[in-house]
Amino acid sequence: MSGAEPDSCVTDVDRYLAGAARMMASVRYCWLATHSDGGDFGIRPMGLLPKENGDPEWTMRFLTDGRSRKAGEIRRDPRVAVMFLHDANDASVKVSGLARLLEDPSYVQPRWKSAYNRVFPTEEDRASAAFVQIEFERMELWIRGVTPEPWGVSATVLERNRAGNWRLVPARADRASERQVL
């Protein structure tokens, strides 16, 4: 679960990553946000697909229709965000990164499961099926019992460098004045 930068506070970063992984694994649906044409956001619920052997640790995948608005938005701007929420545990995780639309039949067909036929009932529909794969670059965490108190006041932020290592982003100095206002 590591992947923390050697010069960062490894114990905290590893604890935050482990907390995020547990929380994300505990939810069935999450919310995917894309950039739409008009400068607004397209936000929709998504069912997260299980990881495959050999998948990078901080990558996720969804099934989508390559003809959908969501797919068009990803083609135009691959920057996306995904929000996970677990009310019972007072836990939220927002991840952001770059999405890739994987539409090539040589990629889609070996990963096809018969359960997908319910969503893609015809051959024409199945020919338009694609996977959205997102590699995380940044996380914002609000996880009671994992991230610092007071819970919910500000996010604990982790960012990934080019080597794939995570580091804790120091809280901004102006956060202290925000806390006084709240």
Q: How many CA atoms lie within 13 A of 41 on its CB side?
A: 10
What letter does residue 11 receive in the DSSP assignment? H
Dihedral angle sign, alpha carbons of residues 127, 60, 83, 171: negative
pLDDT digits (tens, 9 = 90+) for 38-65: 788 899 999 988 888 888 888 899 999 9
Please classify residue 104 by burial: count the beta carbons closer than 10 Å to its beta carbon, then call 0-12 exposed, 13-18 middle and 19+ buried: exposed
Contacts of 146 (CB under 8 A, 6+ apart): 15, 16, 19, 91
pLDDT digits (tens, 9 = 90+) for 135-155: 999 999 999 988 888 877 889
**pTM summary value:** 0.84
Radius of gyration of the chain (CA): 18
CATH superfamily of 10-181: Electron Transport, Fmn-binding Protein; Chain A (2.30.110.10)
Q: How many CA atoms lie within 13 A of 78 on its CB side?
A: 12
pLDDT digits (tens, 9 = 90+) for 105-135: 999 999 999 999 999 999 999 999 999 999 9
Question: What is the Cα 129 distance to its own chain's centre?
Answer: 20
| Percentage of the chain exceeding pLDDT 70 | 88
